[in-house]
Structure 1
Amino acid sequence: MSSHEILLAAAEAIVAPGVGAPAGCVIGIDVDGARHVAAAGLAAPERPVAGAMRRGTVHDLASVSKVVGTTTALHRLASMGELGFDDLVTRFVPSYGGDAETSIRDLLQHRAGLWEWQPLYLAPGDDPLATIDALPLRYAARSERHYSDLGFMHLGRVVEAAAGQPLDLAVRELVVRPLGLSSLGYGPVEVEAATSSRGDEAERRMVATGHPYPVAWSDAGFAWRTAPVNGEANDGNCFHAFGGVAGHAGLFGSVDDVLEVAAALSRADERPELWNPDITADVIAAGPDAEQALGWRRRELIVQGERMPLLWHPGFTGCAVGFVPGRGIAVAFASNRLLAAEPAPTDILWRRVLDALASALSTQE
């Protein structure tokens, strides 16, 4: 089978009818500049005439925003000498309410001791940044890794301060423009987009049950979204509290644009004007936690017995991106998994994508 046939078969298998199957998905790989993208299923099943999922469909990237947006912007700013990863957060955000010795590195490694998540849109007042500055730490700073949306909200503030412009403009200037991307940007979007969910049902359930995190505020009287979410941020904090632009979520883009970011990072040595080699080496290296680099997660990709480090990150809506540093290998995936009756975890879908990537790589000489 050719690489495209392998990807198409994988995409069709992922959306095959079943309780946990997403309505549609797109898989893309880029190997040394040779790109293959395959789509299957439906992008927006609620539409009167449901359109097919297409290569150019734009997706809510959810937490993939953390790496293709915020982390990559910080990577560029560090390469430009505008900041260092060991700089204190308070250099850029004087009001930061966490441990005073917290560095940018601590936030990127999810070791700042912050809460994983809170529904900031339910807090009194109308300033979510003041709310997170006032929250007490949940864990001792730098003691262990706890994946935190709040940490990346703070990192979005760092990008803004270091770049001297709002986050959406900073990501455009630092990532979108130099890489020649055509669709990547913060919502709302009016182009053909995949529906991400049926309203705020996931977060409403999190607030009602206190699972997986206890919440600080009641949702009494809150106007939850109940209609299909299409073209606006699925993440509740991003949409309700931050107006669609935040360091932890909010980016939309096609699989091709996400793949372009990953491919550029996989061949960072070819663009020294964008990526300082020493900074790149720091970004991709494992930190105190072997499965966590700076912003990016780390895992192994095994192809015909060869083990390669894969830098990657998932998104709650059913998307993910990854690359192998120095090898010219990049992979991206997007789906509308939350539309399934019992949504399969993104990581389960991602494993199937990585199996397809390994198969495609195995067929190449």
Structure 2
Amino acid sequence: MVVRYQKTIAQLHALVDDQVVPGVSYTIFDGEEKTEEVFGASQLQPTTQPLWQGALYDVASLTKVVGTTTVMMQLVQDGKLSVDDEICRYLPTFGDERVTIRHLMTHTSGITGYIPNRNQLRPDQLTQALLGLHVGEDFNQRVKYADIGFIYLGWIIEHFYHRPVQQVIQEAVLTPLGMDQSTFQPIAAQCVPTEIQPQRGLIRGSTHDPKGYILGEHCGCAGLFSSLSDLTRFGQAMVTDNLAGILTNETMDHLFVDQTPMPGYHGRSFGWRVLPTCDNQPHMVIYHTGYTGTWMILDRQTKQGFIMLSNRVHPSANNPEFIERRHQLVQTYLQEK
């Protein structure tokens, strides 16, 4: 299998060789067969430290799909709610009756607005400010990726469970799947660091996302720390047995098609991005990234997947080259798979 993905693997190594990221942990799998490597450094500053097998990464927005999306789809398949329910039914403080759960899950809600001193607010102040945002001209017109929708979805989950969303994700997803290394409260020494910031110093073992840092266990858009082996377990379960039966076959079918409310193809399913494959039998794969330097691509039809973890925001988040390299890597993988 290594021969099959040699261009993809060469580009992954080039990320480290060219100092785009400190280190890389990846798995490429075809069913039960897999190739995985861990190489490079875990950190470059204040001292260079080697990367190790089993390291925990701040997976950032992979929290959205591993955790929040999975729990929301459980609620849908259990008949607790519909994706076309208005969100003000569950979040009455939010006043616009046009926005539905579908809009939140496909990033088509158009919710926007500026929050002064956002990163200095207390949790209650930030919650109030986020619920006070308004719907702009992008509503139901185009996909505009944003965290706010999944923060709202986390609070909708809390409406049903009466517990913080991150506790629900732990109980409803991580524990049943045996993702024993994954956690929202990691031991710092087990984590690769992310950014060095003036206010927070070297961030290690707490979420890099500023909104997630303030909201803590009430944040559904970020905050999960996970290992390569746990995310491989998740990915293989997604493409082989409907997440070990957590989701139904029908629910899984819905995740692999465009679910945006506008006519035509816009590349967004519930939570996930959907991409067409490059092979002789074109079909959709699901894909998501994390700001910190992570991504996951899963193909249910061929039972293949690609999980890549890095801390590309270390020592600085100012790393535009990573975004271009990521796009190239995804295209190379889709061509080679």
User: What TM-score results when the alignment is normalised by the length of structure 1?
Assistant: 0.81
* Shift of residue 233, structure 1, vs aligned partner: 0.7
1:276 to 231, 240, 248: 248
Q: Say which SS state the counterpart of residue 186 (structure 1) adopts.
A: coil
The one-letter amino acid of 2:100's match is S
Hey, what's the Cα distance between the residues in 2 that align with 1:5 and 1:295?
27
Are 2:58 and 1:60 aligned? Answer: yes
Which residue does 1:318 correspond to in 2?
Answer: 293
- TM superposition shift of 1:113: 1.5
Partner of 1:332: 307
- The secondary structure found in structure 1 opposite 2:21 is coil
Distance in structure 2 (CA, Å) of the matches to 1:3 and 1:179:
31
Contact 1:160/1:166 (<8 A) preserved: yes
Which deviates more from structure 2 when the two are superposed, residues 254-263 or residues 114-123?
Answer: 114-123
The answer to whether the 8 Å contact 2:179/2:233 transfers is yes
Match runs of 1:33-182 below 5 Å? 33-46=32-45, 48=47, 50-97=48-95, 99-115=96-112, 120-122=118-120, 126-139=124-137, 141-182=139-180
Give the structure 1 partner of residue 205 of structure 2.
231
One-letter amino acid matched to 2:308 = F
Q: What letter matches 1:184 in structure 2?
A: S
| Structure 1 pair 355–125 and aligned structure 2 pair: CA distance change class (3 A) | closer
Residues 276-322 of structure 1, C-alpha deviations (whole Å, 9 max, x = no match): 2222222321133521111101123325x553422111111111112
Letter in 2 for 1:83: L
CA distance in 1, matches of 2:145, 2:52: 32
Take 1:283 and 1:117, find their aligned partners in 2: how far apart are those partners? 32
**CA apart distance, 1:194:** 1.1
How far apart, CA to CA, are the structure 1 residues paired with 2:63 and 2:243? 24
Amino acid of the residue matched to residue 29 of structure 1?
I
Instruction: Please name the residue that 2:272 is paired with.
Output: 296
Question: Aligned residues: percent identity?
Answer: 21
What's the secondary structure of 2:188's corresponding residue? coil
Moved more, 6-15 or 250-259: 6-15
Assess, with a 3 A threshold, how the Cα gap between structure 1 residues 306 and 352 changes in structure 2: closer, same or farther. farther
- Report if aligned partners of 1:298, 1:309 keep a CA contact under 8 Å in 2: yes
Superposition RMSD on alpha carbons, in Å? Answer: 2.8
Give the whole-Å Cα distance in 2 for the aligned partners of 1:101 and 1:346.
Answer: 37
Shift in Å, 1:358:
4.9
Indicate how the Cα distance of structure 1 residues 8 and 284 shifts in structure 2: closer, same or farther if over 3 A, else same.
closer
**CA shift at 1:179, angstroms?**
1.0
Contact in 2 for aligned 1:269/1:275 (Cα 8 Å): yes
Q: Secondary structure in 2 aligned to 1:331?
A: strand
For residues 61-87 of structure 1, the C-alpha deviation after alignment (integer angstroms, 9 at most, x for no partner) is: 111111111112212222333322122
Structure 1 regions of 5+ residues with no counterpart?
A: 201-223
Show structure 2 runs of 5+ residues with no match: none
Given that 2:191 and 2:205 are in contact with CA atoms closer than 8 Å, whether structure 1 keeps it comes out as: yes
Deviation at 1:356, TM superposition (A): 6.2
Letter in 2 for 1:32: G
Aligned residues: 330
AA matched with 2:2: S
Q: Which amino acid aligns with 1:230?
A: R
Q: How does 1:5-16 map to 2 (within 5 A)?
A: 6=6, 9-16=10-17
CA–CA distance in structure 2, aligned partners of residues 281 and 345 of structure 1: 35
Contact kept, 8 Å, 1:179 with 1:261, in 2: the verdict is yes
Match for residue 211 of structure 1?
none
Q: Find the counterpart in structure 2 of residue 23 from structure 1.
A: 22
- Residue correspondence of structure 1 range 204-215 to structure 2 within 5 A: none
**Conserved 8 A contact 1:22-1:336:** yes
Distance 1:116 1:178, change over 3 A: farther
Taking structure 1 as reference, are residues 85 and 302 closer, same or farther at Cα in structure 2, changes over 3 Å only? same
State the TM-score, normalizing by the size of structure 2: 0.87
What is the distance in 1 between the residues matched to 2:229 and 2:319? 24
Corresponding residue for 1:2? 2
Q: How does 1:192-203 map to 2 (within 5 A)?
A: 192-199=190-197
Q: CA deviation at 1:130?
A: 1.1
Q: Deviations over 1:180-233 (max 9, x none)?
A: 102222145334211111126xxxxxxxxxxxxxxxxxxxxxxx32x2211111
Q: Secondary structure at the match of 2:29?
A: strand
